[in-house]
Amino acid sequence: KMAEKQEEPSNTQNGEPDNAEEGEEKKKKKLKREDLPPFEIVTGERLPAIFFKFQFRNVEYSSGRNKTFLCYVVETQGRESVTSRGYLEDEHAAAHAEMAFFNSILPKCDSSLRYNITWYVSSSPCVTCADRITETLKKNKNLRLTIMVGRLFMWEEPEMQAALKNMKSAGCKLRIMKPQDFEYVWQNFVEQEEGEEAKAFVPWEDIQENFQYYEEKLAEIL
């Protein structure tokens, strides 16, 4: 019922609702609209195949693909080398998967260790995430980061291009995923049906052209 109620203009004074209850009501509506919980990081061993097929597709117009899926491999070199892998996705707008990686997977770098990190991400980072990556790399010289992306995000924007260049000068390797990289993600990060032979990766028809398209754009930017 609540949703049908038209919002009537209320006689507000000093921007306060004329009764507190109405203020609460509006707050509830707003919360409802923004979908709770505000944020959760979904981490898992492997992501469902349907997500992979949709989100990682390197199409030029990525409508509906507004989530970032980030598969990571972290190789930590000290006395012994340890490799860990997993994936993250950003559930809601509060933090993106790239930020979540630094907040939860690698909150601090031990200066006595070396970290070789590879991300396979459905699309390149937004400006804010790119800046955070640049800062993190400048601060931690023992961190090597390679980011393999399926698509370039808002690459026409001058601000975005500048952010990507900064990442590069901070030592980040940015690459467009080739068909072989998609296959690698498919084999290593995507759920395979229980008890079935692992299904072979089936490339979509324009995978190679799209890779070339984005690779040219990236080369122009960097």
Distance separating alpha carbons of residues 133 and 155, to the nearest angstrom: 17
Over the stretch 124-147, which tens digit does the pLDDT of each residue have?
Answer: 999 999 999 999 999 999 999 999
Among 14-23, 163-172, 189-198, the least confident range: 14-23
> Does 173 reside within a domain?
yes
> Does 34 reside within a domain?
no
Give the predicted TM-score (pTM) of the model.
Answer: 0.74
Domain span including residue 143: 42-191+203-221
Count of domains forming the chain: 1
> Does 134 reside within a domain?
yes
> Does 35 reside within a domain?
no
| Amino acid of residue 91 | E
Q: Residue 108 has what pLDDT? A: 87
Check if the beta carbon of residue 200 is closer than 8 Å to that of residue 207. Answer: no
Can you give the CATH number for the domain in which 49 is found? 3.40.140.10
Q: Which helix (H) or strand (E) holds 121?
A: strand 114-123
Q: How far from chain centre, in Å, is Cα 193?
A: 25
Check if the beta carbon of residue 14 is closer than 8 Å to that of residue 69. Answer: no
Distance separating alpha carbons of residues 16 and 33, to the nearest angstrom: 21
**Residue whose tokens read 């399926």:** 150
> Does 167 reside within a domain?
yes
> Does 31 reside within a domain?
no
Q: Across the strands, what pairs with 146?
A: 118, 173
Q: Which residues are catalytic?
A: 98
Rounded mean pLDDT of 78-102? Answer: 81
Distance separating alpha carbons of residues 202 and 160, to the nearest angstrom: 32
> Does 24 reside within a domain?
no
> Does 16 reside within a domain?
no
